[in-house]
Amino acid sequence: MSVDEVIKSTLDDNGLEHRQEGPGRFFVTLPGSKKLQTNCWLVVAEHALVVEAFVCRQPDEAHEEVYRYLLRRNAKLYGVHYTLDANGDVYLVGRIGLHAVTSEELDRVLGQVLEAADGDFNTLLELGFATAIRREWGWRESRGESLANLQPFRQLVEREGPLEPLHDKP
């Protein structure tokens, strides 16, 4: 079975939304709960399958704390690691040697991408976007708009003082 066939059958077997963008190029949407979806590229290169997933845009603030969090998390991740692009946006990237691309390995790496992107999402927002969250909360509250999707950040808005993550520490 070719690498493309392994990828396609693994994505189909797991019911993952995807489209093939040419030979060896797959765009996959991983469903989440905190981060509603994580878009991920699987690209077959000369010697490896490259995995790349967007996590969040460049933090507005507390850059040092965000980067410290990402570096600590890297030590616990399997097959992928956090990195930044030229704009400072946060991605998960990894490589699987072509000889090691099996359905099981691909499932494990995609599971790690989803666990990290979805599991770390609120913490990254709390650390890097606290002021924007507070501002959005106040704006919505003043207009009587729904605060439903901001509820995970209620404590962030209500407390004073220095910010620390409310969720999973690495």
Other CB atoms within a 10 A radius of the CB of residue 78 amount to 13
Domain 3-118 matching CATH 3.30.1460.10: the answer reads: yes
Residue 29's φ and ψ, nearest 5 degrees, are -110, 115
pLDDT per residue, tens digit, the chain (170 aa), is 899 999 999 999 999 999 999 999 999 999 999 999 999 999 999 999 999 999 999 999 999 999 999 999 999 999 999 999 999 999 999 999 999 999 999 999 999 999 999 999 999 999 999 999 898 888 888 899 998 888 888 888 876 544 444 445 45
pLDDT in the model for residue 20: 97
Q: Residue 164 is which amino acid? A: E
- Measured CA to CA, the distance from residue 16 to residue 160 in angstroms comes to 42
pLDDT in the model for residue 161: 45
pLDDT in the model for residue 17: 97
- Measured CA to CA, the distance from residue 128 to residue 137 in angstroms comes to 16
- What are the extents of the domains in the chain? 3-118
